[in-house]
Homo-oligomer: A and B are copies of this chain.
């Protein structure tokens, strides 16, 4: 089972896509298996993070924004905007793909884990995920 999900992001931030991925797993009808999530972009990425207290994802985003600021004199790739090259670096430091076992027809996430699409561009975008379940 392979499905493409389209998600419109309003701007930078971490957006919880756990429910949408679990829906694909349910539709696949697989009891025990593997779910692979892949983001088809180099300026957005994936991360599994705490889903209980929103301050955790806010701090994570603030921390990475400080590590990879805009306007770095090192950048030569600037034609697509000030936030483009930081977006590529942030993508490389986080994940483009995630493999999550399926147990009893559900994603085998821990109690406090959520799957987040991390948008690194300020303007947001229409983002595409491929979800494979086997």
Residues of A within 8 A of B (CB): 2, 32-34, 36, 38-42, 47-50, 53, 55-56, 58-60, 62-64, 66-68, 72, 74-77, 79, 85, 88-89, 91-101, 103, 108-113, 128, 130-132, 134
Min CB gap A134→B, angstroms: 7
Within the complex, what minimum Cβ distance (angstroms) separates A101 from chain B? 4
- Determine the chain B residues whose CB is within 8 A of the CB of A103 once the complex forms: 2, 130
Between A and B, 30 residue pairs with Cβ closer than 8 Å are: A2-B103, A33-B132, A34-B132, A38-B100, A40-B113, A41-B110, A42-B49, A42-B50, A42-B110, A47-B92, A48-B91, A48-B97, A49-B91, A53-B79, A56-B77, A58-B77, A59-B77, A59-B85, A59-B88, A60-B88, A63-B89, A93-B93, A93-B94, A95-B95, A96-B113, A97-B99, A101-B131, A101-B132, A103-B130, A134-B134
